[in-house]
Structure 1
């Protein structure tokens, strides 16, 4: 399961229901994807094909609502799903 948390243009922000426990968000764009840590601060964890410009845009849209993304993570996993 990979619930969509946020969409901006052609970027989709989501997390997988059965993945590692460190709080993070995936960002997909057609044919590419990146992953950002949400704690202790927003930082790039992995990039699979986003151009430097796309990566900057993706990161900006993680940093701006990062508290909302953290709250979505907590709410999703508090409902009994395990990362």
Structure 2
């Protein structure tokens, strides 16, 4: 489960066996979880995050969008 980024208390990562899905990134903070599709950026699922936190997360996913896509392709296309 490679961690791509730690930012503002969030951990952004993906699972190594998810290459059968479109590019996406998982996010956790404590017991809160979310998953964002990367192309286009869209919330796929969330547990325990509040609406204002999801807005902050979306902004971070947009900010690091290219970093996440590059990490995804580097990991799954090797």
Q: Give ranges in structure 2 of 5+ residues lacking alignment.
A: none
Displaced runs of 4 or more, over 2 A: none
Partner of residue 16, structure 1: 15
TM-score (norm 1): 0.86
For residue 78 of structure 1, report the CA deviation from its aligned partner. Answer: 1.7
Count of paired positions: 77
Partner of residue 47, structure 2: 48
Does 2:35 align with 1:26? no
For residue 51 of structure 1, report the CA deviation from its aligned partner. Answer: 0.9
How far apart, in 2, do the equivalents of 1:26 and 1:76 lie?
15
RMSD: 1.0
Where is the strand percentage greater, Structure 1 or Structure 2? Answer: 2
How far apart, in 1, do the equivalents of 2:42 and 2:69 lie?
14
Partner of residue 6, structure 2: 7
